[in-house]
Amino acid sequence: MLYGVAFQKLLLRVMAPKPKSPRLLAGIKWESIAKKPRMMATDASMANAFSSYAEYLNNLNDKRERVVKASRDITMNSKKVIFQVHRISKHNKDEVLEQAEKDLQAVRDRHVSRLVKELNGTDFWKLRRAYSPGVQEYVEAATFYQFCRTGTLLNLDEINATLAPFSDPCIEPLQINILDYLLGLADLTGELMRLAIGRISDGELEFAERICGFVRDIHRGLTILAPDMDDSYDMKTKMDTILQSVMKIENAIFSVHVRGSEYTPLLGSTDPDYSLLGVSDIDL
């Protein structure tokens, strides 16, 4: 009996799996075994990251297309406001400005609101190139209307205040930046030059002189700011255009004062041989 028990214990010891030697255990690449699941997890996370970024880019491209469309609509309809204001004269001022105000409000309600809602809650500075032309044209139209109605300049805070009703108060609202405002202001001077020449043709010399002083003030202010706007090549090129606008208004007013009313009806002439003190390229 004792022999049988001892034999069974021996048999179990022999049949039991032998532990591997330390040398064999040392030869196993435990690092490869440990890293395998970690590498799989890393690959999965990288795939998810790339997938998420690709989806973000697709959404951003779609948003950019919608923003460009809204910007074009703002540009087109803002130009209509500018054309409406150019119809102003001493006989129809109230009627023209009333219609221009309605048209400007329609631009805000139908088109600017789309742009604001599209950009709310996003990094709208990334899409500035897509909507900047429309914003500049809107600034030009709004400031042009404001000057003809009150003789004052619509500042940036006042323009941004008109966008507030379209913004979600819980999300960072779209704000027109200072660069787009100044670029729109630079374009305003060209419209004011055309308006001044037209008013002189209608005998409204006093109004033209007021416009001339206003354009001079804009040019003086932008001359101070332009050197600090190193990233804006557009502003540097527009400064020459602003100076030309000032000179055209001054030359037209000077000619009327020096040569009398005989030049007044000729300011609106389309005769290519007509020149005003050497300035034959007045844009009408």
The helix/strand/coil state of 113 is helix
Say whether domain 61-176 belongs to CATH 3.40.605.10: no
Which of these, 69, 161, 62, 163, lies nearest to 113 by C-alpha position?
163
Look at residue 7 in the predicted model and tell me its pLDDT: 46
Amino acid at 185: L
Look at residue 171 in the predicted model and tell me its pLDDT: 76
From the number of C-beta atoms within 10 Å of its C-beta (0-12, 13-18, 19+), residue 283 rates as exposed
Question: Which one has a higher pLDDT value, 78 or 37?
Answer: 78
Can you tell me the mean pLDDT for 185-202? Answer: 92
Indicate the pLDDT class of residue 58, thresholds 50, 70 and 90.
low
* 8 A C-beta contact, residue 74 and residue 119: no
Look at residue 187 in the predicted model and tell me its pLDDT: 94
Among 188-192, 198-202, 226-230, 232-236, which range has the highest average pLDDT?
188-192
- CATH 1.20.58.190 in the chain: give the residue spans: 61-176
The CATH code belonging to domain 183-284 is 1.20.58
CA 188 to CA 16: how far, in whole Å? 96
Look at residue 110 in the predicted model and tell me its pLDDT: 93
Indicate the pLDDT class of residue 9, thresholds 50, 70 and 90.
low
Indicate the pLDDT class of residue 265, thresholds 50, 70 and 90.
low
Q: Is the pLDDT of residue 218 over 90?
A: yes
Which of these, 190, 179, 130, 138, lies nearest to 159 by C-alpha position?
138
Look at residue 146 in the predicted model and tell me its pLDDT: 96
CA 201 to CA 89: how far, in whole Å? 11
Q: Is the pLDDT of residue 166 over 90?
A: no
Look at residue 54 in the predicted model and tell me its pLDDT: 64
CA 95 to CA 210: how far, in whole Å? 21
Q: Which helix H or strand E contains 104, and what residues bound it? A: helix 93-107
Q: Is the pLDDT of residue 202 over 90?
A: no
Q: Is the pLDDT of residue 261 over 70?
A: no
pLDDT over 90 percentage in the chain: 42
Could you read off the pLDDT of 111-153 as tens digits, one per residue? 999 998 888 767 777 888 899 999 999 999 999 999 999 999 9
User: Which residues are bridge partners to 276 per DSSP?
Assistant: 279
The helix/strand/coil state of 203 is coil
Look at residue 53 in the predicted model and tell me its pLDDT: 62
